[in-house]
Homo-oligomer: A and B are copies of this chain.
């Protein structure tokens, strides 16, 4: 079923560049499919088609666009076991995770279909005319959100479905009315091809224009660079490392026409453990965090990589239990041999730093590419002297920072980079004494969590997934939830425009029955 093909619009083509395969990290063998990297001309072709498609696609009716998104979801479900099996062969992740992620992916597509079908997401804002106003007449002005143009989406290594080919970036960009060109992640190009087949099938079945979607294979960085520099690309979505995301951001910023890059990058998701909570429920939290740190082999962007506590007996006890619990957990396979190698290297790099002490590390030999989870400890003073110990170790690893007092805890948080999440573990009565800690943490993160774990990102409207740099490249937007659509749109105003030539969303009759703000009032009324 997997042929190693690229999709340049509707056309299935072999790439013109070098060949590559994907790896099964469990067996440590290459999967049987051969993929060929697209060449420069093929990138040009995909963008040429996307630009042509944009003219038609941006004007599709909400109903048709929702039909397309739902048809993609149907198509992904129809792939059945072949998708699940390919996913597992290319990632080493278990079937349960594959199915869960498929459900999330399909759910995201359907939720954007609902958003688009309902229609109010365009934020129609109408200020009616007052031609008798003095000294100048007030003209009729109507505004709505319109798509930016072709969007490039980079597949994520750690979410082969939910943040790759038909993941949140693609779903939100297509919902917005933007054609999408995916740079498939080379570690799961087969999974990507299957999903791309579902998207192309859905596009054809629902009458979408050729070029509304392309899927490009590449194992190196050149194709991605060409895409970000391409003048016909109007925005970029990326999920991955800080190094990778920053490189794309820099390329986009250096363009003659700079374009927005929404890169969701690294985070260590600091967790503040307050003493009364540790005293009353330290064992519970230690066990819970052992689970959160190792969940998905620690390969989540919301993995808790730094835990902060006040140096005390209750913290020592927590650390001891955390160490005991974490090595009880059976090590699991990482996504790729290179990721497993990098995990060991980065873990050792941090562990060898001055002041860092190993608390616990899975003590036995493991199967190939399986990660040996570890917890290390540092004092607040040593953290302050070497704040680079906060650098993300992608995998099941966490650094506990034992601060000598609240002030030092605050200083440590102030030295941390921007984060997706920040968590407070506390009894309610003690929280009042840590107002400044909460305030400092709030300015660093996109999501504050009380008595919970950062792993597990609910797909809902109230979710903020993104945060101050480098958690993401633009903290004003979210990669998860329906508001993710805001990344790919811009407001367009129509002044004194004839009613019958306005987009349906802005016409007097309100034919789509959407919520609009008319002269300051939110309403579904006609004008």
Contacts and interface: CB of A to CB of B under 8 A. Distances in A.
A260 interface: yes
Nearest to A494: B448
Nearest to A120: B522
Given A253-B250, A260-B476, A447 B490 contact: no
A495 B450 contact: yes
Contacts of A474: 260
Contacts of A438: 501
Contacts of A439: 55
Interface stretch (A326-334, A352-360, A456-464): A456-464
Contacts of A250: 253
Contact of A490 (B475, B487, B520): B475
Interface in A470-508: 470, 473-478, 483, 486-487, 489-498, 501
B55 A461 contact: no
A218 to B, nearest CB: 25
Contact of A462 (B126, B464, B468): B126
A249 interface: yes
B127 A495 contact: no
A86 interface: no
Interface string A425-448: 000100100000011001101111
A450 B498 contact: yes
Interface stretch (A74-82, A136-144, A209-217, A273-281): A136-144
A462 B142 contact: yes
A318 interface: no
Contacts of A517: 461
Contacts of A495: 447-450, 452
Given A127-B461, A462-B143, A489-B476, A149 B443 contact: yes
Contact of A446 (B431, B491, B498): B491
Contacts of A442: 146, 492
Copy number in this complex?
A: 2
Given A258-B473, A491-B478, A449 B496 contact: yes
A148 B259 CA distance: 21
Nearest to A440: B55
A494 B258 CA distance: 33
A445 B431 CA distance: 50
A484 B257 CA distance: 22
Q: Which of A146, A456, A461, A498 has the most CB of B within 10 A?
A: A461
A285 to B, nearest CB: 14
A515 interface: yes
A284 B260 CA distance: 42
Nearest to A146: B442
A497 B450 contact: yes
A469 interface: yes
Interface in A261-317: none
A451 interface: yes
A143 B464 contact: yes
A499 to B, nearest CB: 10
B127 A462 contact: yes
A125 interface: yes
A167 interface: no
A418 interface: yes
A464 B493 contact: yes
A254 B522 CA distance: 41
Contact of A493 (B258, B446, B497): B446
Contacts of A494: 447-448, 450
Contacts of A451: 496
A152 to B, nearest CB: 17
Contacts of A142: 462
Contacts of A520: 461
Contact of A431 (B464, B469, B498): B498
Contacts of A496: 449-452
Given A463-B493, A489-B476, A522-B522, A139 B458 contact: yes
Given A127-B458, A141-B460, 14 more contacts: A55-B439, A125-B461, A125-B483, A138-B460, A139-B458, A143-B461, A143-B462, A148-B475, A249-B253, A428-B501, A448-B492, A451-B496, A466-B490, A478-B491
Cβ-closest 5 pairs across A and B: A253-B253, A464-B493, A141-B462, A447-B493, A475-B490
14 contacts: A55-B439, A143-B462, A249-B258, A257-B418, A445-B492, A447-B494, A447-B495, A448-B493, A449-B497, A461-B517, A461-B520, A462-B493, A466-B491, A515-B522
Interface of A: 55, 125-127, 136, 138-139, 141-143, 146, 148-149, 249-250, 253-254, 257-260, 418, 428, 431, 438-439, 442-443, 445-452, 456, 458, 460-464, 466, 468-470, 473-478, 483, 486-487, 489-498, 501, 515, 517, 520, 522
